[in-house]
Structure 1
Amino acid sequence: MKPALALVPGEPAGIGPELCVRLAQQPRSDCELLAFGDADTLQAAARALDLPLRLLEASDTANLPGDLRLRPVPNAVSNLFGSTNPGNARAVIDALNAASDACLRGELDGLVTGPVHKAAINAGGIAYTGTTELLAERAGCDVVMMLANDVVRVALATTHLPLRAVADAIDRNTLLRVLRITEQALRNDFGIARPVIAVLGLNPHAGESGHLGREEIEVIEPVLETLREEGLRLVGPLPADTAFLPQKLTGFDAVLAMYHDQGLPVLKYSGFERAVNLTLGLPYPRVAVDHGTALDLAGKGVADPSSLFAAVETCARIAAQRKLAG
């Protein structure tokens, strides 16, 4: 049976709804989709694109271009593309929670999420740091953020921290947890029997034998030795400025970066349009687009749907891999 995936458009004033309308035009042989969101917003996006959209009940079957099964999560106030309204923050969070709960109950096999607007959600009175953190808390588990495209997979030891806070956040327990979760996901979700993970150093030149910082010697290297004794195949710590050379990447299944902007600029340069954001460690696969709400493009019909298409393909592939593994 094909995996059944939840689809959450995200911020209603952004490009997420129209990307979902474009997605609904594509025949799918790899999965079935069930959207969680506001029906009026999706219909407005379809009109803006001049594309057909037929919203179906969750129990129906999508057969034609433009068919999209929907579990309605209505907005509280009317929506205008390009202009966020904090009054709809609760609907955005409710859609994410409902989709997550359906996955946790086993009703759906994975979750694909569109872009959300953090400022709008917080302005709506909801404390929100990110969907990754929200889903991890709801599932009660530790997770790792990974971004991936057709060229490279980059996992992050730390995510959205000020640069001056990064060094203090990289400790033994954090690195042990992140590397174990990443290695397990590479095996279970990507079907790589013995993955090789390149681990970047924190400092320039990976610390230059302690002359440019001692985090590599005192924290990173001891963690790598511990995990190698457990059987993990880890290379590093490597200088970040040379680890992404194409000839080196061919020997790695993933790269662990110590902080957000250490690894992600390379990934986005190598193929931003097809890049996706994965949450490793959840009981179900979650894949998101790797771009923002693009309010300036919303409703104009010019937004590139490639990242959402890639997110669905990736989530379907991982969900199928998990079902096959039992």
Structure 2
Amino acid sequence: MARPTIYDVAAAAGVSKSLVSLVLRGSPRVSEESRRAVEEAVRRLDYRPSRAASSLAADRTDAVGLLIDDYANPWFIDLVRGLHEVLGPAGYRLSVVDVATVSPAEDPVEGLLSSRVDGIVVAMDVPGALRGPGAPPIVVAGTRAHIPDADSVANDDWAGARLAVEHLLALGHFRIAHLPAASGAGTARADSAAAVLAAAGIPRIAVTPSPTATEAEGYWAALHVLGAHPDVTAIFASNDAMAIGALGAAREFGYDVPGRLSVVGYDNSALARTHLVDLTTIDDRSAAVGRETGRLLASRMRGSDAAPVHRTLEPALIVRGTTAPPK
């Protein structure tokens, strides 16, 4: 059976299509008698307005795009949860685009722009196409190459890395390797770790930054470090995925964690919180970053023209079972 249309509702209520549209939009310019007739026809026909048509009529889509660069990174899970907590109740649908899964012939940014999303959350280095005129409101999530006229929300990556390295130093570790990542956040964490080690008079162990900061890259980087520097007693990884890879490398070497090797991650991801992994990590408050990002974007989509806002949330050290004093 065909779904009823707005024309069916108008015929059943004995009014015009335009008047039905006014009732559905909650217009006060409708008599109570006509309103009751339309509402009764809607109930009787079980009519559901076309969301797409309503959005076009209102010049909006109630859709928000989220640009990321790696679905496998567990950091995005809590970010998305935080975004949903704010944007969902406000009636927005979230469309996630992972640029790492898009073919070279496609332009993921152009895809979002052509679908006329009302706003975009950028959780990767900001694409140039979003910097020009005509782009929808955007908010940058995480430490990125910020653009001056866009809002941004991130945790303090410099402070978080300092907490991680100072924790290892306090435990008595003096041969500490950092597994860096080639990203905005990764660079900030690596620079902070290097500064803390230098201030403590500890030589830096050079490690090539990981291009995508995955578990596999953490595994191979840790294998290299442990093979080339057998005196290393602690590893601080740029994120939890790389830290879990480092735990796998420690197992390959037969190292007890945390007896022979301590490992610290970053993100406080769901996997790090499991009893099996029990990873010491830095809580970057990713769900809170998502919520704050959602609030800022919702404000911009409502037409706010306030000066750009750059918010930084304080991270916290979460000590679990992968760190201990060196033997």
Q: Same fold (TM over 0.5)?
A: no
Q: TM-score, normalised by structure 1?
A: 0.29
Which structure has the higher relative contact order (CA within 8 Å, separation 6+)?
A: 1
Larger Rg: 2
